[in-house]
Amino acid sequence: MTIRLNGSDHVLPGPTTVLTLVDRLDLGRTDLAVAVDGAVVPRSEWADHTIPDGADVDVVTAVQGG
Amino acid sequence: MQDTAPDPLVVAGTTIESRLFLGTGGIPSPEVLRRCLTASGSDLVTVSIRRVGTDAPGSLLDVVREHGARLLPNTAGCRTAREAVLTAQLAREALGTSWVKLEVVADDVTLLPDVVELLDAAETLVRDGFVVLPYTNDDLVTARRLADLGCAAVMPLGSPIGSGLGIAHPRAIAAITEAVEVPVVLDAGIGTASDAALAMELGCDAVLCATAVTRAEDPPAMAAAIAGAVRAGRTARGAGRIPRRESALASSPTTGLVGS
């Protein structure tokens, strides 16, 4: 199954939760936020939120700017 | 008013000690940011929200937090209300703050605010419980609309972002400071210390600058200079400047002159 992760195609091995995806990115869990198909998934729901096939997923953090 | 008297800024019920807000765009490194924060005493720092790269997030945020400053996430780069609202919601989730510097620009060349999208986004975010500090143009009517919508402050530009041209229309900024009840923060266009002093003399409550500090030859020195100018301008505003006159007015006694 394939999703769009931060604008690029990304293959998932099977049903994957937001929490599993975040951990797989190996960036830690703090100062991150996740949107699936344009809606924020609160941190408290990461473990229960399974990413649908073909979903558009954004994982963001704070950077210098503005 | 003494220069040293406590004179904190209050935004949405929160006290901010320094009237100089720092942007981080263009900062050479987290270490330079740390020195700029120390030099300026700024305690409100704005950061952008972007898709993660391959580096773990953190070092910039660590510097801000170690300094005890408040993070003000921004929606820089957003072109529509929809993008800005989602970015603000992501920032709230990532950083645990409901404060947002709302930026919705019309294009990448002028970077001027798109006021239609800006007002739309401000209304949505205020309703969603955000403390909204919108970057806007120097138009009084737009500033008043933003304040009426419930924005916690308004942040008019002095001149285009990154231009360093200072305050292009001082009377427009003065008109905004006289017309709105919420704090007015001069945002964008500051080139050097005197621009910041002028902003405060015109009645602004604070100044936000990024490029003027981060791309100066010596960023911490410029941060200190602009912080001093903000304090001087604030004090001068409170002191009440003399009216401008078309002709000279002798400051020495006109009687008792030798030879009279």
CATH of the domain at A32: 3.10.20.30
Kindly give, in sequence order, each residue whose CB lies less than 8 Å from that of residue B157, ignoring residues fewer than 6 positions away: B112, B113, B135, B136, B137, B138, B186, B187, B188, B189
- A6, B25, B44, B54, B196 from B14: Cα distances, Å: 35, 25, 11, 35, 23
Q: What is residue B59's predicted lDDT score, i.e. its pLDDT? A: 86
The pTM for the full model equals: 0.91
B50 is catalytic: no
Q: Report the distance separating Cα B210 and Cα B76, nearest Å.
A: 13
Count of the separate structural domains present in chain A = 1
* Amino acid in the structure at residue B176: I
Domain assignment of residue A66, yes or no:
no
**How many C-beta atoms lie closer than 10 Å to residue B207's C-beta?**
29
Q: What is residue B56's predicted lDDT score, i.e. its pLDDT? A: 60
User: pLDDT by residue (tens digit) across B198-242?
Assistant: 999 999 999 999 999 999 999 999 999 999 999 999 999 999 999
Q: Are B102 and B133 in contact (CB under 8 A)?
A: yes
Q: Scan for tokens 């099977």, then name that residue.
A: A14
| B1: confidence class by pLDDT, cuts 50, 70, 90 | very low
Size of chain B in residues: 260
Asked whether the beta carbons of residue A60 and residue B24 sit closer than 8 angstroms, the reply is no
Token reading at A46:
């990461």
Q: What residues of chain A lie within 8 A of the CB of B52, using their CB? A: 6, 25, 27, 32, 59-61
Closest-CA residue of B relative to A33 is: B94
B31: buried, middle or exposed (CB in 10 Å: 19+, 13-18, 0-12)?
A: exposed
How close is the nearest chain A Cα to the Cα of B87, in Å?
9
Domain assignment of residue A37, yes or no:
yes
Domain assignment of residue A18, yes or no:
yes
How close is the nearest chain B Cα to the Cα of A24, in Å?
12
Q: Are B38 and B157 in contact (CB under 8 A)?
A: no
Q: Is A64 in CB contact (< 8 Å) with chain B?
A: yes
Asked whether the beta carbons of residue B47 and residue A7 sit closer than 8 angstroms, the reply is no
Domain assignment of residue A25, yes or no:
yes
Domain assignment of residue A57, yes or no:
yes
Q: Are strands A56-63 and A2-5 parallel, antiparallel or unpaired?
A: parallel
Token reading at B230:
């903000």
Q: What is the mean pLDDT of chain B?
A: 94
Q: Which domain holds residue A30?
A: 2-61
Asked whether the beta carbons of residue A64 and residue B94 sit closer than 8 angstroms, the reply is no
**How many C-beta atoms lie closer than 10 Å to residue B188's C-beta?**
29
User: pLDDT by residue (tens digit) across A9-44?
Assistant: 999 888 999 999 999 988 888 899 999 999 999 999
Q: Report the distance separating Cα B151 and Cα B121, nearest Å.
A: 11
How close is the nearest chain A Cα to the Cα of B101, in Å?
9
Closest-CA residue of B relative to A57 is: B51
Q: Report the distance separating Cα B72 and Cα B135, nearest Å.
A: 13
- Which residue of A30, A33, A64 is in closest CB contact with B47? A64
- A14, B71, B95 from A30: Cα distances, Å: 25, 15, 8
Judge whether residue B73 has pLDDT over 80.
Answer: yes
Q: Which of B101, B145, B231, B237 is catalytic?
A: B101
Residue A30: closest CA among B217, B58, B158, B175: B58
How close is the nearest chain B Cα to the Cα of A23, in Å?
12
User: pLDDT by residue (tens digit) across B25-43?
Assistant: 989 899 999 999 999 999 9
Token reading at B190:
């500051």
Closest-CA residue of B relative to A28 is: B56
Q: Are A33 and B90 in contact (CB under 8 A)?
A: yes
Q: What is residue B233's predicted lDDT score, i.e. its pLDDT? A: 97
Q: Report the distance separating Cα A10 and Cα A7, nearest Å.
A: 9
Domain assignment of residue A35, yes or no:
yes
Q: Report the distance separating Cα A20 and Cα B77, nearest Å.
A: 29
User: pLDDT by residue (tens digit) across B119-128?
Assistant: 999 999 999 9
Q: Is B241 in CB contact (< 8 Å) with chain A?
A: no
Judge whether residue B4 has pLDDT over 60.
Answer: no
Q: What residues of chain B lie within 8 A of the CB of A32, using their CB? A: 52, 57, 94
Full DSSP string of A9-41: EEE-SSS-BHHHHHHHHTS-STT-EEEETTEEE
